[in-house]
Amino acid sequence: MIRRFEQIARAGLLMGAAAIAADHALSAASRSAGELIVCHAGSVSAAFAQVEQQFTAQHGDVAMKDVSGGSVALAARLASGVQPCDIYAAADYQDIDLLLEPAGVADYTIVFAKGRMVLAYIATDPHTNGIAAAGEFKPPASIPQAAADWYKVLLAPGVRISSSHPFLDPSGYRTYMIFRLTQAHYNVPNLANALLEHVTIAGAARAEPGSGPTLGKDYDFQFIYEHSAAAAAKTNPSYRYVSLPDRLDLSTNAQNPFYAQAFVSIPGVAPGPLTMVTIPATPVAWGLTIPKQSRNQENAVEFVSLLLGPAGTAALTTNGPTPITPALVSAAHLPHVPPRLRPKVVSK
């Protein structure tokens, strides 16, 4: 099962390496001493855009550069020197702990937001019949549960499940984790691998708007962060999503012992020989750090302070994911957090 997953995924590793080589020349370009580069997961783009606007209003002399993408891909670009970042925010805080810290790029992680995974689909897609239990879809107040045998719908002939690349993005490896947990939860032999057979890896976004793969047309289901699904539902009356059991949606600390049986291995980003890094399933949580090589530490601290304060809390509350207030940091990492930020975090 793991071998099958890695066969699907390794093609993306080669593409990622090629992209790093192609972009390396760009890293030598000079940057303004007043430039602040904010690198973040695409899943927090809306919230970060709002905070960036407020930061720019307060610091008009600082040129803001926003860089979004898959958290693992960004980590690799940061560690290799291809993409400088003054702030790095990942959709999985473990990407900092397990990828950037061993690479010598970071020495602390601030966990600032949380969420859960849901299963999205289009109501008019005939492949999705029977996926939802009874209940009215009126987010956020009313979200139907997945039907008791929901996974059987995903196993039907012709059904396609979209996933981002697991070597590039946490939502991709979380999809696999959900498959593994689903097998354990329902005690169905080989279920994870059977679900994986229906996965299609989403390609990079194309230049033409709306030209990429489309839910309900090019694929039938997608495991996605709830706040992202809620945003999509606001713009498309046919967009739907269902809640999964808390043993599967990666949302509940009480389920940590159950989650721990699922894990993925992805390539590390530390310099030197390629090594594989094991990432265990944990509740969905976003983390950030100011990389050691940031050239604009002072303004980076100012930005993170704004994000962890009322302005950032409001932006996350409006756009998602759910803010963690105060933000969390491990006891081992706390001494490395800049003094200005320590009043805004608590040790976990």
Range with the poorest average pLDDT among 157-161, 173-177, 209-213: 209-213
Q: Does the pLDDT value for residue 33 go beyond 50?
A: no
In this structure, the strands spanning 199-201 and 161-163 are parallel
Q: Per-residue b/e over 191-207, b at no fewer than 16 CB within 10 Å? A: bbbbbbebbebbeeeee
User: Rounded mean pLDDT of 85-104?
Assistant: 98
- Res. 212 pLDDT band, cuts 50 70 90: low
* Mean per-residue pLDDT over the chain, rounded: 90
Q: How far apart are CA 220 and CA 119, in angstroms?
A: 10
C-alpha span between 172 and 91 (Å, rounded): 11
- The answer, yes or no, to whether residue 31 has pLDDT greater than 50, is no
- What predicted TM-score, i.e. pTM, was given to this entire model? 0.89
Mean pLDDT, residues 147-167 taken together: 97
| CA-closest candidate to residue 163, choices 197, 208, 129, 134 | 197
**What residue type is 96 in one-letter code?**
I
Closest by CA position to 290, among listed 244, 258, 329: 329
Cis peptide before 310 (omega within 30 of 0): no
Which pLDDT score, from 0 to 100, does residue 296 have? 96
**Domains contained in the chain, CATH given:** 31-114+284-347 (3.40.190.10), 117-257 (3.40.190.10)
Residue 87 has pLDDT above 60, yes or no: yes
Average pLDDT over residues 336-344: 98
Rounded CA separation 194/242 (Å): 21
**DSSP letters for 117-170:** EEEEEETT-GGGTT-B-S---BTTTB-PBBPTTHHHHHTSTT--EEE--TTT-H
Q: What are phi and psi of 270, to 5 degrees?
A: -65, 145
- pLDDT tier at 203, thresholds 50, 70, 90: low
